[in-house]
Amino acid sequence: MEHFIDIVLLGLLMITGFAIVRMRSLLAVAMLTSIYSLLSASLFMVLDAVDVALTEAAIGAGISTILMLATIALTTDREKAPRHTPLLPLVVVFTTGAALIYGTLDMPHYGDPDAPVHRRMAAAYLHDTPEEIGVPNVVTSVLASYRGYDTLGEVTVIFTAGIGVLALLGYRTRRRNIQSPAIKKLVVLRVIAKLFLPLILLFALYILFHGDYGPGGGFQAGVIFATGFILYALAFGLGNAQRLIPQRLLHVLAAAGVLIYAAVGIEGMLLGGKFLEYRVLADDPVTGQHLGIMLIELGVGITVAAVMLIIYFGFVSRQHSGDS
Amino acid sequence: MSNLLGHYNYWIVIILMMTGFYTVIARPNLIKKVIGLFIFQTSVFILFISMAKIEGGSAPIIAEGISVYSNPLPHVLILTAIVVSLATTALGLALVVRIREAYGTTNEDEIHVQDEQD
C-alpha cells in the first residue's frame, strides 16, 4: 500500500511539474506550485519524514505561494513566448538527465536497510538520543543539539536573507489602512480570520514547545506564527497589521532570535563547557540538554517568524506605494 | 521488477530536477525561472528523504514497541534547507520586482535588448 501511494504521488508530482512548465498564465503557475508543494509534503509523510512534511506544508504550500502571488501583483501575469527554439536547452537537459540516471544505477535500492547512509552517524544518533539528550524526537535532538552549529548557520542565513529583502524592497509603514473594497465585502473571510488568529498562534506555540516529543520545532512554529499575522493582514488590511506588530519591533525580533541562539552557546562556554554544549547549563546533563534545546528553538522561532513577516510586509507595502 | 521499483523514486526525482532545470534555462520570464529553481530544490529534497527511508521503518520519534526507524539525519538537513530555500526564493523574487521597476519588463530577452541599446 505504501508503495502504491508513493508511486501515485510521484506520478502526480511529475504531471504538475510538466503543467508548470507549459502554462503561460503565471497566476495558474503559482497555484500549481502550491499544489506541487502540498503533494511533496504528502510524499514526505509517506516516507516517514513527519517534521519535513510539516515544514514543507507550511512553507512551500503556504508562504511561498503568497510571495509568488505578491510578486505577480507587482509585475505581470502573462508570460511571453520564448524567442529562441528550445532545441539547445532540450539537448542539455536530456544529456544531463541521462547521465544522472546512469549514476543512480549504482545506488542502493529504495528502502534498503543496509545502505551506507544508514550506518555510522545515523545509527549512533538513534542509539544515543534517549540516553544523552532524553527527548523522543531524534530529528529535534540532531537539529538542536548534535548539529547545533549547522542550525545556527542556517538561522543566520535566514536572518541575512531578511536583511537582503529589506535592502532591496525597503519598507513603508502605513498610517492609513489600505484595503480593496472587494475584500471588505467578504464577511466570511473576516469572521473566519478573526476566529482563527488565536488558534493559529496557539498552535504555533504548541508546535514550538512540543517539538521535543512530536513533529515540530522552531522553524515550523516560526512560519505558522507568521502565517497567523499574514492571514490577519489579508483580511483586515496592511495598516492594521502593521499597527498590531510594528516594523521596528520585527527588526529587533529578527536579530534577537539569532542573538538568543548565540548567547546560549556562549553561556555554555562561560559555564566551562564548549560552544553550544548544553550539558553544563544545568546540574543534570539531561536537564541541561532540555533547557538548551528549548532556548535555541525559541530563538529560531522568533527569528523565522520575524523574517517571514519582514519579507511579506516588504512585498506588500511596495505594492501599495506603487498605486499612490 | 525489484530493480525497476528500487530506483523508481530516484528516476522521478531526476525527471523533476530536469523539469526545473529546463524551466530555468529555456524560459525567458524571470518569475518562471525562480519557480523552476523552486521545482529543482524540491526534487533534491525528495531525493534526500527517499534515501532516508527504510523498508518497514517508522518516523524517527523514539517510542516503545518500535525497533526500526527511518534515518533522521537527512530529515534534519532537508528541514532546514526548506526554510533556507524560502529565504532565497524571497530574495530572488525581490530582485525580480526591482528589475521590473528598472526595466519595465520581466522578460529576459527584452532586458537584453534594452541593455544592448544603452
Three-class SS of residue B77?
A: helix
Pairs of CB atoms within 8 A across A/B: 284
Q: Are A13 and B16 inside 8 Å of each other by CB?
A: yes
Alpha-carbon torsion angle A323, B99, A155, A69, nearest 10: 50
Enumerate domains of chain B plus CATH numbers.
Answer: 2-117 (1.10.287.3510)
Region of poorest pLDDT, from A53-62, A179-188, B5-14, B40-49: A179-188
For every residue of A256-299, DSSP letters joined together read HHHHHHHHHHHHHHHTTS-TT--GGGSSSHHHHHHHHHHHHHHH
Average pLDDT over residues B40-47: 92
What's the one-letter identity of residue A298? L
Q: What is the mean pLDDT of chain B?
A: 86
Cα atoms in the 13 Å half-sphere on the side-chain side of A64: 34
Helix (H, G, I), strand (E, B) or coil at A203: helix
Q: What is the pLDDT of residue A323?
A: 43
Report whether B87 contacts B100 (CB < 8 A): no
Residue B1 pLDDT more than 60? no
pLDDT recorded at residue A320: 57
Chain B CB contacts of A143 under 8 Å are 76, 79-80
How close is the nearest chain B Cα to the Cα of A180, in Å?
A: 22
Chain B residues touching residue A7 (CB < 8 angstroms): 8
Ordered structural domains, chain A, with CATH: 1-116 (1.20.120.1200), 120-324 (no CATH)
- For A243, the grid coordinates are 499597527
CB contact under 8 A, A136 and B11: no
CB contact under 8 A, B55 and A118: no
**Interchain CB distance below 8 Å, B5 and A165:** no
A259 lies within 8 A of chain B by CB: no
**Distance, in angstroms, between B114 CA and closest chain A CA?**
15
Residue of A80, A93, A137 with shortest CB distance to B61: A137
User: Is there a contact between A280 and A268 (Cβ–Cβ < 8 Å)?
Assistant: yes
Cβ of A142 within 8 Å of Cβ of B73? The answer is yes
Which pLDDT score, from 0 to 100, does residue A169 have? 87
pLDDT at B45: 93
Q: How far is CA A133 from the centre of its chain?
A: 25
Block residue for cell numbers 534526500: B48
For A106, nearest residue in chain B (alpha carbons):
B7
- pLDDT tens, chain A, 324 aa long: 778 888 889 899 999 999 998 888 889 999 999 999 999 999 999 888 888 998 899 888 888 998 999 888 888 888 777 777 788 888 898 999 999 888 888 888 887 777 777 777 777 787 777 777 778 788 888 887 888 888 898 999 999 999 999 898 887 766 666 666 777 778 888 888 889 999 999 999 998 888 778 788 888 899 999 999 888 888 888 888 888 888 889 899 989 999 998 888 888 888 877 887 877 777 787 788 888 888 888 999 999 999 999 999 888 888 655 443
Q: Would the pLDDT of B28 be above 90?
A: no
